[in-house]
Structure 1
Amino acid sequence: MANEKKYALAPCSGMSPYGLITRAASVDTVKERDDLISICMGATSADREGFKQLIRKYPIIAVNGCEGSCVDKILEQKGVKVAKIINAQEELNSENMKPTDPVRLDENGEKCVLVMKKKIKELID
């Protein structure tokens, strides 16, 4: 672990291929590191018990799927300013990659996940 600080990843929960990539990349990255937890944006939006405290406990990295930046906006509505932001569509476009399925990871989707995991880790470290 290159970083002593703990972060929370908040991936997009949208129904686009980019949302799926953010969730898969976030879950994989959290599994691989002990300096990360993940935040459920659905539970955050619904004000589920315990999430008000959780979203204030650690600096949050918003892992947005697209330029809509819904993760940032939802957290802002909850009174939380994100510490860092990454946009999957932007990052994957810069690598000439585009996921195509909003619910299944095909070979191309898995490649997109690997790229996003690398980008998330670079943002943290």
Structure 2
Amino acid sequence: MEEEFALAACSGMSPNGLVARVAVHDLAIDDHEIVSICMGSTSADVEGFTRVLNKYPILAINGCEGNCVGKILKDKGVDVIDELNVGDILAETEYKANDAARLDDEGEICVKIVKNTIENKINEIELE
């Protein structure tokens, strides 16, 4: 990765929201060029957390068709470079997340699929 990216994951209480959070967390741990945004702190305008909002290109990772992450960021005046939807990503597979609080084996597979999709999207953005 050539530049830093910020990923903003769904913080909703749905199975896909959990997959989004785990995928973003894993990517941020694995790659020092990826910053994870806390959507709770963003919504609450917590000082320190909101400074990152205009510092890096942001990719919104929504859990469902509500697209709350993108809407919250846009309401805060933040430009989002692109949005992904976990529900749409997983709809193209035979896998689905099953719990909003814990990942089972199938949920872990979902995380891998979503992480791969996010990495591909970041690479695509960098090539533009």
| TM-score normalised by L of structure 2 | 0.93
CA–CA distance in structure 2, aligned partners of residues 50 and 32 of structure 1: 23
Specify the alignment match of 1:76 in structure 2: 74
- Local SS of the residue matching 1:63: strand
Residue correspondences, number: 123
Specify the alignment match of 1:28 in structure 2: 26
- The structural deviation recorded for 1:51 is 2.7
CA–CA distance in structure 2, aligned partners of residues 109 and 52 of structure 1: 30
Specify the alignment match of 2:108 in structure 1: 110
Contact preservation (8 Å) 1:72, 1:81: no
Deviates more, 1:94-103 or 1:7-16: 94-103
Contact preservation (8 Å) 1:92, 1:112: yes
CA–CA distance in structure 2, aligned partners of residues 70 and 15 of structure 1: 12
Amino acid aligned to 2:106? N
CA–CA distance in structure 2, aligned partners of residues 77 and 27 of structure 1: 24
Unaligned runs of 5+ in 2: 124-128
CA–CA distance in structure 1, aligned partners of residues 50 and 100 of structure 2: 28
Instruction: Please give the residue correspondences for 1:89-100 in structure 2 after superposition, counting only pairs within 5 Å.
Output: 89-100=87-98
Unaligned runs of 5+ in 1: none
Specify the alignment match of 1:39 in structure 2: 37
Residue of structure 2 aligned with 1:123, choices 110, 121, 124: 121
- The structural deviation recorded for 1:84 is 1.5
User: Alpha carbon RMSD of aligned pairs, Å?
Assistant: 0.8
CA–CA distance in structure 2, aligned partners of residues 52 and 100 of structure 1: 32
CA–CA distance in structure 2, aligned partners of residues 45 and 63 of structure 1: 15
Amino acid aligned to 1:92? L
- Local SS of the residue matching 2:16: helix
| TM-score normalised by L of structure 1 | 0.95
Give the share of equivalent positions with the same residue, in percent.
49
- The structural deviation recorded for 1:52 is 2.9
